[in-house]
Amino acid sequence: MARLLFTQQLARFTSVPQVDTEADRLRAALDSAFDINPLLRGYVLDEQGHLRENVVVFIDGRRSTDRVRLDDPLRPDSTVHILQALSGG
Amino acid sequence: MHDRAYLSTRKGLFELQRKAAGWELGPVHFLGEPVSITLADARDGAVYAALNLGHFGVKLHRKDAGADSWTEIAAPAYPPKPEDSSDTVEWKNKLIWALEAGGVDEPGVLWAGTNPGGLFKSRDRGQSWELQRSLWDVPQRSEWFGGGYDAPGIHSICVDPRNSAHVLVAVSCGGVWRTENGGDSWALSATGMRADYMPPELNENEAVQDPHRIARSQGSPDSLWCQHHNGMWRSGDNGHRWEEMTGVPVSNFGFAVAAHPHDGNTAWFAPAEADQRRIPVGAAMAVTRTSDGGKSFTVLREGLPQQHCYDLVYRHGLAVSGDGRSLLMASTTGGVWVSDNAGDSWRTVSTTLPPVYAVCFG
């Protein structure tokens, strides 16, 4: 299963679960984390469901390519890091 | 008389407390996080703090009266933008720029002004918010534009204490708007203002005015004051008609204005040199006060820095307490000053705080 790892910077504001998911697309994987902590959604996505402009996602070491659809594919053994971008600091 | 005040800053929410020896810095909340505006709701004692997290967006927290901790509540959120919309503005809340309580007869009602120009209303103390489509959908919104930010924003919300359904809001840059039915419909209310930054044929277009800040006298609510990009205006008829105040000393440019809570002829302004040079005139801090409806002004400097001072007071950076005597002013470079005699003299609280976005008593 793909593993989602959220930056601990987020732990200042809300709980950040480590999530293992069978989802094969990024958005579905994120949704599985938001199911555990609904508050987390608003920190990672904006109200239009887009990746916040100063949040960045790496899938197996490569930056995700689409910030709107979030349809990057995941492998069963993917590791997904959800991080704060330096642009927002 | 208030014994507490709040400073919303680039790096946290700082409390001020009035002690026997004067105002002192107190507890700090959200240290390190940008706090764009704070509301101390006199109706129930709750305090609301709007955060603008650099990475994680706009958040809103509430601390109830007597509580020790904050609770995150819903932040105003825009609905999905229709796919066929020609609107060039992103429907995303970038900033809570104004936060005001509804009238005393409507407990739980809050108003929030945001960038990019949406006005939101909550009926449940911020547990949920609704975009006021009646204003968002006015055709003239296509004429609005950003002032200081890329997109326009609502920074002033003035509820009429005589009738909570009567509300005036100000937009930079999009004029002044009024509702007389609780937000069901809106009309422009900027007659008399002038926009010199526009082509001549558009100078008097009400929908492109840049009122930097509007303040209402609670005890004399027909009296409204406006620090505008192009000068200073006053209305004596509840915003139906605005008259420019001329011959103003120091400068007619600035951002902040505070209205006396009872006396409709008294207000304070925090002048800056000019649009193209946003510093105190002569690098010396001053506040101007009128007590005759804007016919004349007194320049107040005692206790304020008079040399090498480059502090700018943002539009929410000047407040007066309910007694009309205590004033609080704070700046972009972390200067904080208080006065307990209506501005005749000031005392420095700090010169080293983070940039201050907004101040309020509470």
A14 to chain B: closest CA residue: B72
Spatial contact of B334 and B353, defined as CB atoms under 8 Å apart: yes
Contact (CB<8Å) A85/B72: no
> Which candidate in A6, A9, A13 is best for mutational testing of the B interface (most B CBs within 10 A)?
A13
Q: How many CB atoms lie within 10 A of CB B275?
A: 12
CATH architecture of residue range(s) B4-361: 7 Propeller (2.130)
Of B56, B77, B90, nearest to A13 by CB-CB distance is B56
Pick from A48, A84, A85: CB nearest B80: A48
Residue A86's pLDDT band, with cuts at 50, 70 and 90, is confident
Q: Which residue in chain A is spatially nearest to B51 when comparing CA positions?
A: A13
The CATH number for A2-88, chosen from 3.40.605.10, 3.90.1150.10, 3.10.20.30, 3.40.640.10, is 3.10.20.30
Average pLDDT value for residue range B120-149: 96
Chain mean pLDDT for chain B: 97
Please give, rounded to a whole number of angstroms, the shortest distance from the CA of A74 to a CA of chain B: 24
Q: Give residue A87's pLDDT.
A: 79
Task: Look at the block and give the residue holding tokens 């940008």.
Answer: B34
In percent, the amount of chain B with pLDDT more than 70 equals 100
- Tokens, residue B266: 């008294």
Give me the count of residues in chain A. Answer: 89
Q: Do B92 and A46 touch (CB under 8 A)?
A: yes
Interior CA angle at B155 toward B82 and B225, to 5°?
A: 140
Give every CB contact of residue A77 below 8 A, 6+ residues apart in sequence: A1, A2
Q: How confident is the model at residue A89 (pLDDT cuts 50, 70, 90)?
A: low
Domains of chain A: which residue ranges?
Answer: 2-88
Q: Name the residue among B272, B233, B267 with its Cα closest to residue B251.
A: B272
Do B160 and B166 meet the contact criterion of CB atoms below 8 Å apart? yes
Domain ranges of chain B: 4-361
Q: Of B170, B166, B293, nearest to B238 (Cα)? A: B166
- Sheet containing B224-228: which strands, arranged edge to edge? B211-216, B224-228, B231-235, B243-245
Question: Which residues lie closer than 8 Å to B247 by C-beta, 6 or more apart?
Answer: none
B1: pLDDT strictly greater than 80: no
Report chain B residues whose CB lies below 8 A from the CB of A51: none
- Interval A82-87 mean pLDDT: 90
Sheet holding B356-361, edge to edge: B22-29, B12-19, B4-9, B356-361
Instruction: Tell me the pLDDT tens digit for each residue of B264-280.
Output: 999 999 999 999 999 99
Alpha-carbon gap, residue B134 to B359, rounded angstroms: 30
Is ipTM beyond 0.90? yes
Residue of A nearest to B90 (CA): A48
